[in-house]
Amino acid sequence: MSKNDKIRVMIVDDIAETREQLRKLLSFDPDVEVVAMLQSGEEAVETVADAAPDVVLMDINLIGMDGITATRQLLDVTPNVQVIMLSVQGESDYMRQAMMAGARDYLTKPPSADDLLDAIHRMAKLKSRSVMDTIPPASAGGQRGEGAGRGGAQRVGKIITIFSPKGGTGCTTIAVNVAISLQKIVDDTTKVALIDANLQFGDVAIFLKIKPTRTIVDLAPRADDLDTELLNTVLVPHPSGIKVLAPPATPEEAEIVREGDAGESGGSLRFRTILEFMREEFDYLIVDTHHVVDDITIAALDLSDLVLVITRPVIPEIRGARVFVELLQKLGYGMEKIGLVINAVDNKRMGIQPEAIERAMMPAIAQLPLDEVIALRAANYGVPFVVKESHADISARVTQLARTIVDMFVEKDEGSTETAKGRRRVGLGRLL
Ligand SMILES: Nc1ncnc2c1ncn2[C@@H]1O[C@H](COP(=O)(O)OP(=O)(O)OP(=O)(O)O)[C@@H](O)[C@H]1O
Ligand SMILES: [Mg+2]
């Protein structure tokens, strides 16, 4: 949707009168155009690609295929459409199901003209928002590479680092699935990169069944002199559309990335410079880490717009996660930049209840269920579950997490030109 275009809206409701009422409400807004009115979920799924709406108003109770199933199927066809669910029931369970299916908003019927138009404009903004036209991120890293000379608007991507102080908590699983979900949600001009910052034993390539011929070692010696072409020859494309920066082929080569002085914050300068360069080339950069706060992790944390801290519901991991969050706070990270993810939640077993973890730490940004079969199959076949098993609960939860991340940045960028640009954090290196 270009800035001058109208917002294209598709209405799905089995009652002709309701469709007409909605159309009338929308006709008062000159920026909105109704491009299709359909009476069933099946028709909506069939028509969505041709009608190319920006926003779909979907009734939840349709005859035949219900609105939740229709939303799920419709988003499989056109993932970057924004669905607003309409229902006479204001029940939280319906709302939860609608959100899990990928709906972005939920209005009770009949909506007021204000609520409806507000929601539509908000959704349209989300859809059209490419990180290209957002303000610089709120990361305190400061001095980005100049990037001038590559012409046009300066892309400043969001860096999302995934960290857990303990091994085996699911960092890599979450990193690969979140990266692919993000790419599915956003439009195809939005670029997503996945960086394996576990330089000695990284396994992102195995989780994605890709065979890197070039790695970060090909970039590191030229960190101060990077260009787009070189970067593109090193990145490995994945069929999902994301690009992967692979770790060194052998553990000993990690030193090549570490060479040179440490930066002011104690982070690896070479790695930092590579990230800063990539931030100008991509909209979202997901960084999978190993489980140590060292110079590489410090560089990633220092540039991050969001740090996802992963724990499973077991005491040693929760304690580790809490200590790490406290460390981030000491370093001046606002809580809004820290997202707790509780992985492998199993209500039937003896694990600590997620609510108890939240009370001890902070509200979780996501809870992902334990699903040994799906997670193991995905790891062993090298096909992330959001690709092959997109209807599984674990996939829906990861997709929801990806949506939360996108929304978070849109809201932040709209909120203000924010503070943290100028705020200095304490260098991690000085504390450790
Ligand atoms: N929600 C889940 N339910 C069941 N198994 C899971 C879940 N998440 C991850 N796993 C499994 O746990 C194992 C470890 O996951 P993963 O490699 O993603 O963790 P990690 O924190 O990156 O580990 P490492 O210490 O190797 O870096 C894998 O076999 C994965 O399939
Ligand atoms: Mg890992």
- Asked whether residue 170 falls in the same domain as residue 303, the answer is yes
**Which residues have CB under 8 Å from 52's CB, separation 6+?**
8, 35, 78
- Asked whether residue 109 falls in the same domain as residue 152, the answer is no
Examine residue 384 and say whether the peptide bond preceding it is cis (omega within 30 degrees of 0): no
- Asked whether residue 150 falls in the same domain as residue 80, the answer is no
Classify residue 52: in a domain, yes or no. Answer: yes
The listed range with the strongest mean pLDDT (133-147, 162-176, 330-344) is 162-176
Classify residue 2: in a domain, yes or no. Answer: no
Closest among 343, 345, 307, 309 to 425, alpha carbons compared: 307
> Which CATH number belongs to the domain containing residue 363 in this structure?
3.40.50.300
Residue 335 has pLDDT above 70, yes or no: yes
Which of 75, 100, 128 delimits the end of a domain? 128
168 pocket-lining for ligand 1 (C-beta < 6 Å):
yes
Q: What angle do CA 106, 108, 111 make, to 5 degrees?
A: 105
Q: Which segments of 141-201 are extended strands (E)?
A: 158-163, 192-196
Which of 88, 110, 128 delimits the end of a domain? 128
240 pocket-lining for ligand 1 (C-beta < 6 Å):
no
* Percent of the chain residues past pLDDT 90, beyond the cut: 64
Owner of token pair 């970057």: 80
- Asked whether residue 137 falls in the same domain as residue 100, the answer is no
371 pocket-lining for ligand 1 (C-beta < 6 Å):
yes
Classify residue 152: in a domain, yes or no. Answer: yes
Q: What is the pLDDT of residue 187?
A: 83
Centre of ligand 1 to C-alpha 272, Å, is 27
Range 15-33 average pLDDT: 94
- Asked whether residue 52 falls in the same domain as residue 110, the answer is yes
- Asked whether residue 292 falls in the same domain as residue 162, the answer is yes
**Which residues have CB under 8 Å from 292's CB, separation 6+?**
none
Three-state DSSP class for 190?
A: coil
- Asked whether residue 277 falls in the same domain as residue 263, the answer is yes
Average pLDDT over the chain, rounded to whole? 86
Residue 411 has pLDDT above 80, yes or no: no
Range 232-250 average pLDDT: 95
167 pocket-lining for ligand 1 (C-beta < 6 Å):
yes
197 pocket-lining for ligand 1 (C-beta < 6 Å):
no
- Asked whether residue 54 falls in the same domain as residue 194, the answer is no
DSSP 374-403: HHHHHHHHT--HHHH-TTSHHHHHHHHHHH
- The tally of domains found in the chain comes to 2
- Asked whether residue 122 falls in the same domain as residue 147, the answer is no
Read off the pLDDT of residues 36-63 as tens digits, 9 standing for 90 and up: 999 999 999 999 999 999 999 999 989 9
Classify residue 21: in a domain, yes or no. Answer: yes
Tokens of 278: 């990539």
Classify residue 204: in a domain, yes or no. Answer: yes
Residues at Cβ < 5 Å from ligand 2 ion: 171-172
Q: What is the pLDDT of residue 2?
A: 47
Residue 341 has pLDDT above 70, yes or no: yes
Q: How far is CA 135 from CA 155, 185, 272, 289, 422, in A?
A: 9, 21, 20, 26, 14
Least confident range of 109-113, 152-156, 240-244: 152-156
CA quadruple 268, 301, 272, 141: dihedral positive or negative?
negative
Nearest atom in ligand 1 to the alpha carbon of residue 164 is 21
For residue 173, name the pLDDT band (cuts at 50, 70, 90): very high
Classify residue 38: in a domain, yes or no. Answer: yes
Tokens of 390: 């997109």
Nearest CA to ligand 1 atom 29: 376
382 pocket-lining for ligand 1 (C-beta < 6 Å):
no
379 pocket-lining for ligand 1 (C-beta < 6 Å):
yes
Classify residue 79: in a domain, yes or no. Answer: yes
CA–CA dist 394, 45 (Å, integer): 24
Classify residue 342: in a domain, yes or no. Answer: yes
- Asked whether residue 227 falls in the same domain as residue 82, the answer is no
- Asked whether residue 88 falls in the same domain as residue 173, the answer is no
Q: What is the pLDDT of residue 87?
A: 87
- Asked whether residue 169 falls in the same domain as residue 95, the answer is no
For residue 427, name the pLDDT band (cuts at 50, 70, 90): low
> Which CATH number belongs to the domain containing residue 61 in this structure?
3.40.50.2300
Nearest CA to ligand 1 atom 12: 170
Centre of ligand 1 to C-alpha 343, Å, is 9
Domain that includes residue 255, residue range: 132-431
Which of 99, 128, 157 delimits the end of a domain? 128
